[in-house]
Structure 1
């Protein structure tokens, strides 16, 4: 699905815990996330830490959308 959407010129960021799967499905912009049951969160964090973590991951995804890339890239 990722490749098909990008084929129409719409950049996609694939946020995933297992980045090798993202690469195998053809995602060009990959943002590694936290864990399988909580990809963009951590239930052990308090509300403020959780918000900061999510904000960081979304910022990485937005930066990835704006990046000019020529090959599949992970944004750490």
Structure 2
């Protein structure tokens, strides 16, 4: 998708796989069974966690990259 001009953020728990498949913008997430959440958190804490992840992903989309970059 990047090659045709559509920026993409790969949100994942295992970043080496993302690097292997050639993802340009990589955002590490929480854990394999719960990549975008944590069931041990309260509803409010989980909302904040997810909000921060989406915010990071949107910032990664706005960032020009050459090659692969992992956004922490």
CA RMSD of aligned residues (A): 0.5
* 4+ aligned runs moved over 6 Å, structure 1: none
Gaps of 5+ in 2: none
Task: Choose the corresponding residue for 2:44, options 48, 57, 60.
Answer: 48
Aligned pairs for 1:16-31 within 5 A: 16-31=12-27
Higher RCO (CA-CA < 8 Å; seq separation 6+): 2
TM-score, structure 1 length as denominator? 0.92
Aligned pairs for 1:29-68 within 5 A: 29-68=25-64
TM-score, structure 2 length as denominator? 0.97
For 1:12 and 1:38, locate their aligned partners in 2 and report how far apart those are by CA, in whole Å.
Answer: 21
Q: CA deviation at 1:12?
A: 0.4
